[in-house]
Amino acid sequence: MQKLSIDGPAGKLEIAVNEPDAARRGIALIAHPHPLYGGTLDNKVVQTLAKAFVALGYCALRLNFRGVGASDGVFDEGRGETEDFLALAEYGRRTYGADELAIGGFSFGGFVAASAAEQLPSRHLVLAAPAVGRFPVGKVPENTLVVHGEEDDVVPLKDVFEWARPQSLPVVVFPGAGHFFHGNLVTLQRLVEQHCRT
């Protein structure tokens, strides 16, 4: 993994890049949890999504949203963070080519990822514990992988079902798991790899 600084809408953005060992299939962009509650690109769930995408041959790109770590700016309620994520996408396309694109996000990052996916044609969209009910997460493609913990006390499972039901969107539930998927990260990685293999 290497950490770099790129230009973003509000100044410099700190990013992390993980390259696959084999031939590159494309790029994967991963968004982290809420900046005001300790969310960073080093979050364990975010790292797990990155590992899964790297195992599938993607170059995984994560960023610290504005105001986090070495990134300039201040929290912007999701609007600016989506702009940051789109800037990461543009950097990824310019630097690593325009092959396949995969997008992932955890919690608040799931909201950002879903928002950005409306503007970015991606092959895969993975949302781990998306912050529905807290942020206006819109409709997502029918092949989106949504995973959630049964005992999530940050984003209640019932809120995710209420969001997914009108879309007839399946939700993979981890029995007994909380918001951060403690003890379930290996299973989460395996599930993402299986879902995004094709």
Instruction: Give the class (CATH, top level) of 2-195.
Output: alpha beta
- Give residue-wise pLDDT tens across range 111-140: 999 999 999 989 999 999 999 999 999 999
Q: What is the pLDDT of residue 121?
A: 87
The closest of 1, 112, 115, 8 to 70, measured between CA atoms, is 8
Q: Please check the confidence at residue 33 and state whether its pLDDT lies above 90.
A: yes
The closest of 66, 60, 109 to 84, measured between CA atoms, is 66
Q: Give the contacts of 154 (CB within 8 A, at least 6 positions apart).
A: 107, 129, 131, 179
- Give residue-wise pLDDT tens across range 61-112: 999 999 999 999 999 999 999 999 999 999 999 999 878 999 999 999 999 9
Q: What are the beta bridge partners of residue 85?
A: none
- Of the candidate ranges 20-24, 81-85, 143-147, 175-179, the one whose mean pLDDT is the lowest: 20-24
DSSP string, 167-187: GT---EEETT--TT-TT-HHH
Q: What are the beta bridge partners of residue 174?
A: 149
Q: Are 28 and 37 in contact (CB under 8 A)?
A: no
Identify the H or E element spanning 111.
helix 108-117
pTM of the predicted model as reported, rounded to 2 decimal places: 0.97
Distance (Å, whole) CA 171 – CA 166: 13
